[in-house]
Amino acid sequence: MKTQINGTDILELGLPEGKTIGIALRINSKRHGFTRDEMITNFKNVLETPENYIDDKIFSKLAIALIEKSNEKPEDFIALNQNPNAYSAYGLDHIEDGARKQMEVAMKLPVTVAGALMPDAHQGYGLPIGGVLATKNAIIPYGVGVDIGCRMALSVYDIAEDFYFENEANFKKELIANSIFGAGHGFHGQYKSDHAVLENDAFNMNPFVKNLKDKAWSQLGSSGGGNHFVEFGIMEFAKDDSVLNIPKGKYVALLTHSGSRGMGATIAGHYTKIAKDVCKLPEVAKNLAYLDMNSQMGQEYWLAMNLAGDYASACHEIIHNKMERALGATILAKVENHHNFAWKEIWNGEEVIVHRKGATPAGKGVMGIIPGSMTAPGFLVRGKGEENAINSASHGAGRQMSRTQAIKNITPTDMKSILRDHGVTLIGAGLDEAPMAYKDINQVMEAQQDLVDVVAKFTPKLVRMADDGSRED
């Protein structure tokens, strides 16, 4: 077995961060007959004298990238603000350093007005997951995220708790029959759904977006991979809620989590590349490249982002409508909120673009759903409109283990044991989604008491997720 060389090894050789690391890793993946030590020696030689390798069949791309990098000057990049405003943070003691550092960089953008870090925050690309950033007249594709418009949707039924336990097999049957998961998966022929979102004029804004329509239609009403789910559980209202007009009690509820599928991911990748081409930021901030809202590309992305958000909402609507018909139930209340999105809002008297990457809108009176994990409770909440948090709250418990760490450290026996202890039936999902991979949702909720009021608690009972370990496509 070959001894691998990873990005850390290459950084330790002195190669600069950025595309040179990626080029070196791609060269190493082929190994070209070199041992690990020989490859390391070659990398050192290219770093010291890249001009000697410009025409080399194996190392030329790395040599050219190093020469280009050495010729870069500070004036080639948009300057960052070295005296940025402070950002607000909630539950900071339980937020990893990587997320804090990403937030600190985001605050240095010349377009940044304000920022906040939610208690479920962890490191992502560009803006951390759980990061909220208000900007002036600028939109950051990676400040929105790859899964544009990812959201939670909840239906509370007029079905008592006891009925669920007496008919669990039927709920399981309908869950399997009316949901489909995984990257690339979709519907075909007579099984395709129809929805008004497919007639949205935004699909005709340019050839790039137009070409996404067929795939969007196929995946309409499906759920993605990763942490996306469709689940039944028990929603407990500890007291009457006059706003939703729901009496105190325990009800069966359907909770779904997914986003804009392949269409949103493709839009994110396309416009991020454009942003990086037109917005030259220093290496540390390159994934925060932004588009001017007055530019054609800025307006295109804004329209495409909103289209992806509408599409994500349509996917949830179809799933919930199918389940309502299958169960023959009456819905007492529906609540939906999204994250991985940007909104035009007023902040300190001026219009700003608020990016909520993995953060829930929590303006005064705004309803939201904050899930825990497949065995931990979720919470139906009402926002308090806390300005220091830019009217936001967490979007879940947040990961405390990366997917790789979870797969390495959690066994199937561990997973089965915790599911059994909590009385949860699981369909699909890999070890990367095990409950132990997530932070304590009660700790997260404790850290954001100033941001939301809890209206009801949701306890998962029957959970379906992608069974192939896939990420979004």
Chain segment 186-234, per-residue pLDDT in tens: 777 777 888 999 999 999 999 999 999 999 999 999 998 888 999 999 9
State the residue for tokens 């060269």: 27
Q: What percent of the chain has pLDDT over 90?
A: 78
The CATH superfamily of 150-465 is tRNA-splicing ligase RtcB (3.90.1860.10)
Express the helix, strand and coil content of the chain in percent, nearest 5 each: 40, 25, 35
pLDDT digits (tens, 9 = 90+) for 322-345: 999 999 999 999 999 999 999 999
120-141: pLDDT as tens digits:
999 988 899 999 999 999 999 9
Cβ-contact 263, 222 below 8 angstroms: no
415 known member of a binding site: no
Tell me which residues are annotated as active site. Answer: 395
- Listed in sequence order, the DSSP H helices in 328-462 are 403-409, 412-421, 441-447
* pLDDT, averaged across the chain: 92
Alpha helices (runs of H) in 32-93, residue ranges in sequence order = 36-48, 60-70
Is 340 marked as binding a ligand?
A: yes
Q: Which pair of structure tokens corresponds to residue 156?
A: 């509370």
> How many other C-beta atoms can be found within 10 angstroms of the C-beta atom of residue 330?
9
- Residue 414: phi and psi, rounded to 5, are -60, -45
Check residue 470 and give its pLDDT.
52
Instruction: Give residue 468's pLDDT.
Output: 58
- Decide if 182 contacts 152 (C-beta within 8 A): no
Question: Among residues 184, 164, 238, which one has the least CA distance to residue 461?
Answer: 164
Q: Confirm whether residue 229 is marked as ligand binding.
A: yes
- Token output for 457: 């608690």
Nearest Cα residue to 23 out of 61, 69, 68, 64? 61
Q: Which two tokens stand for residue 89?
A: 């943070």
Question: Half-sphere exposure of 132 toward its Cβ, with a 13 Å CA cutoff?
Answer: 30
The whole-angstrom separation of Cα 470 and Cα 473 is 8
Percentage of residues of the chain with pLDDT beyond 70: 97
Residue 282 above 70 pLDDT?
A: yes
Find out whether 237 and 379 touch, Cβ atoms under 8 Å.
no
Full 3-state SS string of 392-419: EEECCCCECCCHHHHHHHCCHHHHHHHH
pLDDT at 75 over 80: no
- The yes-or-no verdict on residue 401 having pLDDT over 70 is yes
pLDDT digits (tens, 9 = 90+) for 88-98: 999 999 999 99
Question: Which of 361-368's residues contact partners 24+ apart within 8 Å by CB, and which partners?
Answer: 361/337, 361/391, 361/392, 362/386, 362/389, 362/391, 362/392, 362/393, 362/451, 362/452, 363/391, 364/391, 366/337, 366/391, 367/335, 367/337, 367/455, 368/152, 368/335, 368/337, 368/393, 368/452
The answer to whether 397 is a known ligand-binding residue is yes
| Cα-based distances in Å from 473 to 55, 68, 239 | 36, 32, 42
Q: Please tell me the predicted confidence (pLDDT) of residue 3.
A: 56
339 is in an annotated binding site: yes
Q: How far apart are CA 455 and CA 440, in angstroms?
A: 19
398 is in an annotated binding site: yes
Q: 228 a known binding residue?
A: yes
pLDDT in tens, 21-71: 889 888 988 878 888 889 999 999 999 999 899 999 999 999 998 888 877
Packing angle, helices 296-327 and 168-177, rounded to 10? 140
Domain map (residue ranges) of the chain: 7-72, 150-465
Record the tokens describing residue 366, joined without a space: 């705004």
State the first-to-last Cα distance of the chain, in angstroms, to the nearest integer.
Answer: 31
Distance CA 372, CA 357 (A): 17
What tens digit of pLDDT does each residue of 334-390 get?
999 999 999 999 999 999 999 999 999 999 999 999 999 999 999 999 999 999 999
3-state secondary structure of 291: strand
Binding residue per annotation — 396?
yes
How buried is 404 (Cβ within 10 angstroms: 0-12 exposed, 13-18 middle, 19+ buried)?
exposed
Q: Is 374 annotated as a binding residue?
A: yes
Q: pLDDT tens across 428-464, in order? A: 998 989 999 999 999 999 999 999 999 999 999 999 9
The pTM assigned to this predicted structure is 0.85
- Is residue 1 scored above 50 in pLDDT? no
Any idea what the Cα angle at residue 312 is, between residues 339 and 473, rounded to 5°?
90
Neighbours of 150 (CB within 10 A): 29
Q: How many CA atoms lie within 13 A of 116 on its CB side?
A: 26
Using DSSP's 3-state secondary structure scheme, residue 33 falls into coil
Copy the structure tokens of residue 240: 């009457």
Q: Is 131 annotated as a binding residue?
A: no
**Residue 346: strand, helix, or coil:** strand
Cα distance between residue 287 and residue 213, in whole Å: 27
Per-residue pLDDT, 473? 37
CA distance 311 to 472: 15
**Residue 226: predicted pLDDT:** 85
With a CB cutoff of 8 Å and minimum separation 6, the contacts of 407 are 430, 431, 432
